[in-house]
Amino acid sequence: MNNNSIVRFISTFICFGIETALYLLKGGLKFYIWCFILLSLGGLVVIGGALQGYYGFIVTGLTDQVTWGLYLANFVFLVGVAAAAVTVVFPGYVYKHKEIKKVAVLGEMLAIAAVSMCMIFILFHMGRPDRLWHIFPGIGIFNWPNSMLTWDVVALNVYLALNVVCGFYYLYKKYMGEPTNDRWYIPLVYIACVWALSIHTVTAFLMNTMPTRPMWAHSILPIKFIITAFAAGPAFIIIAFSVIRNNTDLDIPDKVFHFLSQIVVWCLGIALFLTISELVTELYPGTEHSFSLVYTIMGKHGLTMIVPFFWTAMVFMVGSFILLLNPKIRKNLTILPYICLVAFVGIWLEKGMAFVLPGFNPSPIGEFSEYTPSIVEIINCIGTWAIGLFIFTILAKGAVGVLLGDIKYKEYPDS
C-alpha cells in the first residue's frame, strides 16, 4: 500500500465515521424515545457507581461467604450472548447461507455490545478498578498462564478486537461499494468463529476448576455453557431482527427467522436434557456434594432466596421449548419474538441467578449464607443493560444504514 492509498483510506474512513454519526442522529419518534429511555436508565450507573466507589462493597449484598453476586451472574450470561454471534456468522460464511450472510454483520455488532457489557460488569465487581492492570499478562502480578482469570480476559479482548475489525471492515467496504479482500478477511472470520467458542469455554473453566465448589466442578459445564449460549443468543437475535424488520426497510427473509428458531429450540432441548442429567447425577446418590443443588431447588435450613428463580427458569425454558417444538408456532413470526423473549429470560435466570449464585453455598467449611442483591447492585445492573442495549441500538442502526445504501461514499469532483 503506497502513501496515496494510505491517505485515501484514512480520509474515506473518516468520511465513513462522520456520515454514520450524522445518520445516527436521524430517526422517528419511537427511536428517540427508545434512546432517551436507555440513556436515562444508563445514567443510573453514575449514581450506583459513585456510591459503590465511595463506600466500597459494603453497599452490595456480597459477604465473606458469597463473593460472586449479581455482577458476575450477568457477566457469565453475557459472555454466552457474545459468543452466540457465531450462529449467524458461521452459517453465513462457512455454509454460504446467502440470506443470513447479508445480515451477519448485525451479529458482530451484538457481540461488540455484549462484550462491552461484560467489561462494565467486571469493573463493578472489582473492589479496586485502578488495579485492573494486574490481570494483563506480562504486566500484572497474576500467575499467567496458570491463572484462568487472565486467560478469560485475554480471550474476551481478542474476541472483541476480532469482531470490531471484521464488522467495521465489512461495513466500510459496503460503504465504499467495494468487495472485501477475502484473502485475509475470510480467514479472520473463521478465527472469530472458533474464538467465539473459546470465550465461553474459558469462562466455564474459570468456574469448574474450583474443587471447593461442587456445583460447578464437573466436566459437563463447558458444554452446558455453550449450548445455553446458542439458545439465548439466537433468541435475542430473533427479537432484534424482528424489531429491525418492522421499523426499517431492511429485508430480512423469513428463512433467517426459521433457521435461527430451529437453533433455539434444539439447543434449548439439549440444555434441558443436561439439566436433568445434572439433577439425577447429583441427587440420586444424595451425598454432601448435592447440598448446593438442594439449596437451589428446595432451599436448605430455611434459606430459599434462589428457589423461585430456579423454578421460574424451568417453567420459562420448558414452556418455550414445548411451544417452539410445534412448527406452526415456531414459524409464526408474530408470536415467535415473544416466545424467544421468555426463553431468553429463562436462560438468564437459570444460568445466572440459579447457577452462579448458589455455587457458594455451602462454603468450603459448610456454612450457608443467604445472598440478596442490594439496591445499588440492581441499579448498576439495570444501568449496564441499558448501556449495552444503547450500544447495540447505535451499532445496529449504523449497520442497517450501510446495508440499505443510505450511508455510502460519494466521491465529489475537485472544485
Q: How confident is the model at residue 365 (pLDDT cuts 50, 70, 90)?
A: confident
State the pTM of this model: 0.92
Percent of all residues in the chain with a pLDDT value above 70, rounded to a whole number: 98
Average pLDDT over all residues of the chain: 89
Q: Report pLDDT digits (tens) over 246-258.
A: 999 998 999 999 9
What is the number of other CB atoms lying within 10 angstroms of the CB of residue 402? 22
Q: Give the CATH architecture of domain 28-404.
A: Up-down Bundle (1.20)
> Domain locations in the chain?
28-404
Compute the distance between CA of residue 183 and CA of residue 89 in angstroms, rounded to an integer.
Answer: 17
More confident position, 36 or 301: 36
Average pLDDT over residues 54-65: 89
Whole-angstrom CA distances from 245 to 66, 189, 254, 331 are 43, 25, 10, 16
